[in-house]
Amino acid sequence: MRAAVWHGRGDIRVEEVEEARPGPGEVKVAVAWCGISGTDVHEYTAGPIMIPTSPHPLTGAAAPLAMGHELSGVVSEVGPGVEGLAVGDRLACDSSLHCGACAACQAGAQHRCEQGGYLGLSRPGAFAEAICVPAYACFKLPAELEISLGALVEPLSVGVHAMRRGGVEPGSRVAVIGGGPIGLGAVQAARAFGARETFLVEPVPQRRALGERFGAIGLDPSACDLGAAGHAPDVVIECAGHPTSGPLAVRMLRPGGRAVVVALHEAAAELSFNEILFGEKELVGSVGRVARTDFPTVIDLLGRGALDAEAMITRRIGLDEIVAQGFEAMRDDRANQVKILVDPSC
Amino acid sequence: MRAAVWHGRGDIRVEEVEEARPGPGEVKVAVAWCGISGTDVHEYTAGPIMIPTSPHPLTGAAAPLAMGHELSGVVSEVGPGVEGLAVGDRLACDSSLHCGACAACQAGAQHRCEQGGYLGLSRPGAFAEAICVPAYACFKLPAELEISLGALVEPLSVGVHAMRRGGVEPGSRVAVIGGGPIGLGAVQAARAFGARETFLVEPVPQRRALGERFGAIGLDPSACDLGAAGHAPDVVIECAGHPTSGPLAVRMLRPGGRAVVVALHEAAAELSFNEILFGEKELVGSVGRVARTDFPTVIDLLGRGALDAEAMITRRIGLDEIVAQGFEAMRDDRANQVKILVDPSC
C-alpha cells in the first residue's frame, strides 16, 4: 500500500510500504481521513523530535516510519481477542499507546504512561491506506456523523481534556492563549462546557476571526494590556508555547483561578512564585487527552453540533499532495491553514 | 500600657502607649502570650515591608505601631454588637483583617481580601498588655489547653491551610521544603492529616532534627539528589522561599502531584512549564490561612495532642527583653530558635 513516510528532516516520501496484519488486541482500519498536526509539521521542519531513530522502547519501531495520527476510518480486519468491534465499524482512533504496566497506567492515567508512544510517531501511522490500531484506542462514530469529522476528534479531545483539568463549568470565564488548531478547539470546548465568556489571545487576525466565529472575544496581545483587570478569567488555557505565554497565563488569572498548560514550551520561563502565592492561583498541566473519557465526549458534542469541526478544516487533499499542499502549507501559511485533512486513498 | 513599637528599621522601642477601647464588633484582649514571627523579624531587619508609613487603606493606621500578631489572651472588655464572647473567655486570635466588601471577601476568601491587613502590622498588635481584636478573629481555647500554646495556633494554621490546598490525606507522601517555624508546623500538620511519609528538606541540622522529632525523614539538600526517584512525593509544601526552592518543589513531585507555595519569594524563578505539562503536575498558592476553618482544626488537634506546639517554643521572655532576647535571637540564631514567645505583662 502507499504511505507518507518520514525519512528525515525535510524528507517525507510517498512510497510503497508493506501492509501489516492486526496483532492480538488490534484491528486494521482502512483510513478515511487523517489530519496533519502541529507535531507532524515539527517533525518535518525540525525532527527527529519524537520519531525514534533507534527502536522505540514500547513499539520497537524506528524511522523510516509512516506518519499520521489524527484519523478516522473503517474497520477492515479484526485481530485475535478483540471484542465489540466488527468489520465495517466507522471509527475515530486515539493515537496514544501505553504499556499498561507502569505506575501511571496502573493509576488509570494511561495518557501519562512512562513508556508511552503514538501511532504515526512511535509506530506506523495513518498517512497510509491502512493502519493497525489497538482496540482500546478505537471509538465508534455515529452513523449521522460525516466520517471526515472523525479525524478531528483527537485534536478536539485535547481541548476537552484541558477544560476538565481547568475545572471549566457553566458560568466560567475562560481565556485561551494561542489560536492554532488546539487553541481553537479549546475555544469551542469552553463554549461546550458552558463558559459564560471566552477570550482568545492571538496576534494573527485570521485566527482571531475564526475564534470569534466560535464565540470568543478576540484579544490582540500587541494591542491591549492583558494583565489589566476586566479580563481576569477563572481559567486560562495556554496553547501557544511562546516564552511569554506561560507567565502571562498566570498573570491574567483572577485570584483563585487556574491556568492550564497545554502547549509544549521550548525553554524554561521566569515565573513569579509570589503571584501564585498571594492570589492562591493554580498552574496545572494537561497533556494530550484521556481517550476513554474525552473521545466519547467529543463524539457526542460533534453529533449534537456543539463542536464545529467542519469550520476547522481549511483544506482536503490526497496523499500525493501531502508535502507541497500539506506540510509546507501548514509551515508557510499559518495564518490561513488550521486543519488540513489527507485522504490516503487518492 | 506598655508595648513594643516599630519606629523604623532596627528601631523597636518598648514604651508607653495609649490603651484603646474596643470598637463595634470588637473585643479587648489582655494578651497572655505573643510569638515573634518571621515577618516580624523581617520588619525589624529590612522594614518597612508591610508596616504602612502612610495610613493603611483598611485600618487608617501607620507607623509607629505596636507589633505582634500571634497571640493568645483573655477577653477583658466586649465592644458593642458582639455576640458569643464574654469577659474571661480564653482566646487564640487570628491577625488577618478583611474589608468584607471586595470580590474575595464576597466569595468567602477573606484571607485574600484585596484591602486586607494584619493586627500588629496594619494596626496595633499584641506585643502590648492589651489589644483590640475583631470578634470574627477570636477563637475560644478549651479549658485544658495551656494558654501559651494558643499563641501557636496562627502559625500552625498556615500549615493546616497548606495541607488543605495540597489535598493531603491519609496515605499521602509529603515533602516540606524549609524547616523554619512554618515548615516545622507543616511537617506536624502532614502527620495530623494522615501522611504516610513526610520528608523535611532543610540544610540546618538542628532544624532537621526537630523535623525528625515530629516524624519527618530529614533530607539535607546539599547531600542528596532531591530530584531522584524514590522520594517523588504526592505533595510538596514550599516553605523556604529560596530562589531554587520553587522550581525544586515542582521537580520533586511525582507525576500528577501538587506543589504548594507557602513562602514569600524575593524574586521570580525559572520554571520549566514542560515539567508542569508532561507530568500534569500542579503548582498552587496557599496564603496564610482560612481562620474560620483552620483555627478550629488547629485548636482541636492541639487539644488532642496531635500537634506538639510546646516543642516549637524555644524561649519565653518578657516585653523588656523583646529586642535583645527576641528579635535579635531570631535573626542571629536561626539554627536554634524556632518560636520565641513574649509575655507583655512582665
Give the helix/strand (H/E) hosting B11.
strand B11-16
**Mutation for B interface: A270, A271, A275, A281, most B CBs within 10 A:** A271
pLDDT digits (tens, 9 = 90+) for A161-185: 999 999 999 999 999 999 999 999 9
- Which residues touch B260 (CB under 8 Å, ≥6 apart)? B162, B165, B166, B235, B236, B237, B238, B249, B284, B285, B286
A270 touches B at CB < 8 Å: yes
| pLDDT at residue A229 greater than cutoff 70 | no
Report the b/e string of A35-67 with b at 16+ CB within 10 A: bbbbbbbebbeebbeebbeeebebbebebbbbb
3-state secondary structure (DSSP) of residue B276: helix
Q: How many CA atoms lie within 13 A of A71 on its CB side?
A: 32
Residues on chain A touching B271 (C-beta within 8 angstroms): 246, 268-271
* Mean pLDDT, residues B270-290: 96
Q: Mean pLDDT, chain B, as a whole number?
A: 96
Local confidence band at A224 (pLDDT 50, 70, 90 cut-offs)? confident
Residues on chain B touching A39 (C-beta within 8 angstroms): none
Give the helix/strand (H/E) hosting B130.
strand B130-134
| Residue B68 near residue B26, CB atoms below 8 Å | no
Minimal Cβ distance to B287: which of A262, A278, A284? A278
Q: How many Cβ atoms sit within 10 Å of the Cβ of residue B90?
A: 18
Q: Model pTM? A: 0.95
What pLDDT sits at residue B224?
84
Local confidence band at B226 (pLDDT 50, 70, 90 cut-offs)? confident
3-state secondary structure (DSSP) of residue B171: coil
pLDDT digits (tens, 9 = 90+) for B236-249: 999 999 999 999 99
Q: Backbone phi, then psi, for A209, in 5-degree steps?
A: -65, -35
User: Min CA distance, A181 vs chain B (Å)?
Assistant: 18
What pLDDT sits at residue A291?
96
The grid cell for A212 is 470569534
B272 touches A at CB < 8 Å: yes
Closest residue in B to A289 (Cα) is: B280
A286 touches B at CB < 8 Å: yes
The grid cell for A13 is 516520501
| For residue A24, cis peptide bond before it (omega within 30 degrees of 0) | no
State the amino acid at position A174 in one-letter form.
V
pLDDT digits (tens, 9 = 90+) for A279-338: 999 999 999 999 999 999 999 999 999 999 999 999 999 999 999 999 999 999 999 999
Q: What is the distance between the alpha carbons of residues A259 and A274, in angstroms, rounded to a whole number?
A: 15
Local confidence band at B127 (pLDDT 50, 70, 90 cut-offs)? very high
User: Min CA distance, A56 vs chain B (Å)?
Assistant: 18
pLDDT digits (tens, 9 = 90+) for B83-104: 999 999 999 999 999 999 999 9
Local confidence band at B230 (pLDDT 50, 70, 90 cut-offs)? low
Are A287 and B280 a contacting pair at CB < 8 A? yes
| pLDDT at residue A227 greater than cutoff 80 | no
Q: What is the distance between the alpha carbons of residues B255 and B236, in angstroms, rounded to a whole number?
A: 12
Local confidence band at A225 (pLDDT 50, 70, 90 cut-offs)? confident
* Mean pLDDT, residues B58-68: 97
| Residue A203 near residue A335, CB atoms below 8 Å | no
Burial class (CB in 10 A: 0-12, 13-18, 19+), A205: exposed
Q: What is the distance between the alpha carbons of residues B334 and B262, in angstroms, rounded to a whole number?
A: 19
The grid cell for A250 is 498566570
Residues on chain B touching A269 (C-beta within 8 angstroms): 270-271, 273
**% of chain B beyond a pLDDT of 70:** 99
3-state secondary structure (DSSP) of residue A42: helix
Are B283 and A284 a contacting pair at CB < 8 A? yes
Q: Backbone phi, then psi, for A48, in 5-degree steps?
A: -75, 130
Of A320-329, B197-206, B218-227, B295-304, minimum mean pLDDT range: B218-227
| pLDDT at residue B281 greater than cutoff 60 | yes
Closest residue in A to B283 (Cα) is: A283
| pLDDT at residue B41 greater than cutoff 70 | yes
**% of chain B beyond a pLDDT of 90:** 95
* Mean pLDDT, residues B318-331: 98
3-state secondary structure (DSSP) of residue B148: helix
Residue B186 CA, chain-centre distance (Å), reads 10
* Mean pLDDT, residues A17-39: 97
Q: How many Cβ atoms sit within 10 Å of the Cβ of residue A336?
A: 13
pLDDT digits (tens, 9 = 90+) for A200-220: 999 999 999 999 999 999 999
Beta bridge partners of B49: none
What pLDDT sits at residue B346?
86
User: Min CA distance, A260 vs chain B (Å)?
Assistant: 8
| pLDDT at residue B270 greater than cutoff 70 | yes
Local confidence band at B229 (pLDDT 50, 70, 90 cut-offs)? low
What pLDDT sits at residue A198?
97
How far separated are the first and last CA of chain B, in Å rounded?
A: 12
* Mean pLDDT, residues B145-159: 98
pLDDT digits (tens, 9 = 90+) for A92-124: 999 999 999 999 999 999 999 989 999 999 999
Minimal Cβ distance to A273: which of B269, B279, B281? B269
3-state secondary structure (DSSP) of residue B66: strand
Q: State how beta strands B138-140 and B90-93 pair.
A: antiparallel
3-state secondary structure (DSSP) of residue A287: coil
Local confidence band at A242 (pLDDT 50, 70, 90 cut-offs)? very high
